[in-house]
Amino acid sequence: MQIIEPISDMREWSESQRRAGRRIVLVPTMGFLHEGHLCLMRDARLRGDLVVASIFVNPTQFGPGEDFAAYPRDFERDRRMLEAEGVDVLFHPSAAQIYPAGAQTFVEVEKLSAPLCGAARLGHFRGVATVVAKLLNIVQPHAAIFGEKDFQQLQVIRRMVRDLAMDVEIIGHPIVRESDGLAMSSRNSYLTAAERQAAVCLSRALCKAERWFRRGEKAAAALVNLVVAELAKEPLAKVEYVQLCDAETLDEVGAIGAPAVLALAVRIGNARLIDNRVLKP
């Protein structure tokens, strides 16, 4: 596996591979990798000839008072994991390269960035869209893979790529879970043993709502209340939001008539955890 840091080297590599007719698939990450990330790498392997993984903890997607400084980092471990997966290139740029002094250009996907996580994390999706636009510009992949765990992020990126006529295929990958249902996340490392046990309440609540939906419940209020009540049984869980939204526009819906996403964010200890379930009529 090649480790590339300078933007110019990354571009040069991509240009020569594209010229040779090879299909490049990019998997952007913030590192501190887990099995969920590795599933994206394997998916990338199946979808192209060359896999590029990027590791960059993007400062602009963290708000003031968020966990940028505390975000877990272990480059050596990540490097070994990617090497073992057979990833071709690890792109690991510095913040100074990604945000050169005086940088003042940002990408804003206006409407999709506003609800859900965007309401609690002002500027978060502006940071995400900006860094992903830069990574796509630098790596020039044919396709890029993003996890459906960050459902809103995936929709924001799809919209950005369409709106800016970027020549790249965006692929969503299903949520990868621990055996008890907890969605894998680098932030799960913040949880104490007791909090880790409590954290299963997110997926449990979504599973219950999905069962109700399968039995015919279509009303948003009923499904959201069910999830809130289920989460309330867990004293360590502090709910930030539970919402049912149209899966494409992310507008809140009153009932499920088209694919909808039941999305939630919950604080447990120092971790802010998110999860979702797409419900299709």
Q: Return the DSSP state at 174.
A: P
CA distance 148 to 47: 17
Residues numbered 150 to 209 that lie near ligand AMP (CB under 6 A) are: 150, 173, 175-176, 183-186
Report in angstroms how near the CB of residue 135 gets to ligand AMP at its nearest: 11
Site string for ligand AMP, 232-271 (x = CB under 6 A): ----------------------------------------
Q: Does 29 bind ligand AMP (CB under 6 A)?
A: yes
Q: Does 36 bind ligand AMP (CB under 6 A)?
A: yes
CA distance 85 to 73: 19
The separation between the first and the last C-alpha atoms of the chain, rounded to the nearest angstrom, is 44
Catalytic pick among 37, 124, 142, 173: 37
Stretch that binds ligand AMP, among 32-40, 41-49, 71-79, 247-255 (CB under 6 A): 32-40
Question: Of 10, 24, 25, 40, which one interacts with ligand AMP (CB under 6 A)?
Answer: 40
- Can you list the alpha helix ranges (DSSP code H) found in the chain? 7-19, 35-47, 75-85, 95-98, 117-120, 124-139, 151-163, 193-198, 200-214, 220-232
- DSSP characters over 194-240: HHHHHTHHHHHHHHHHHHHHHTT--BHHHHHHHHHHHHHT-TTEEEE
CA distance 213 to 216: 5
Question: Of 149, 159, 196, 272, which one interacts with ligand AMP (CB under 6 A)?
Answer: 149
Closest to ligand AMP by CB, 89 or 175: 175
Report in angstroms how near the CB of residue 172 gets to ligand AMP at its nearest: 9
HSE value, Cβ hemisphere, 13 Å, CA-based, for 124: 21
Q: Does 37 bind ligand AMP (CB under 6 A)?
A: yes
Report in angstroms how near the CB of residue 175 gets to ligand AMP at its nearest: 4
Closest to ligand AMP by CB, 253 or 262: 262
CA distance 51 to 27: 8
Report in angstroms how near the CB of residue 84 gets to ligand AMP at its nearest: 17
Pairing of strands 24-29, 143-147: parallel
The two tokens of residue 61 are 């997607």
Residue 37 annotated to the active site: yes
Stretch that binds ligand AMP, among 88-96, 104-112, 141-149, 189-197 (CB under 6 A): 141-149
Closest to ligand AMP by CB, 150 or 230: 150
Q: Which residues are catalytic, by number?
A: 37
Residues engaged in binding ligand AMP (CB under 6 A): 29-30, 36-37, 40, 146-147, 149-150, 173, 175-176, 183-186
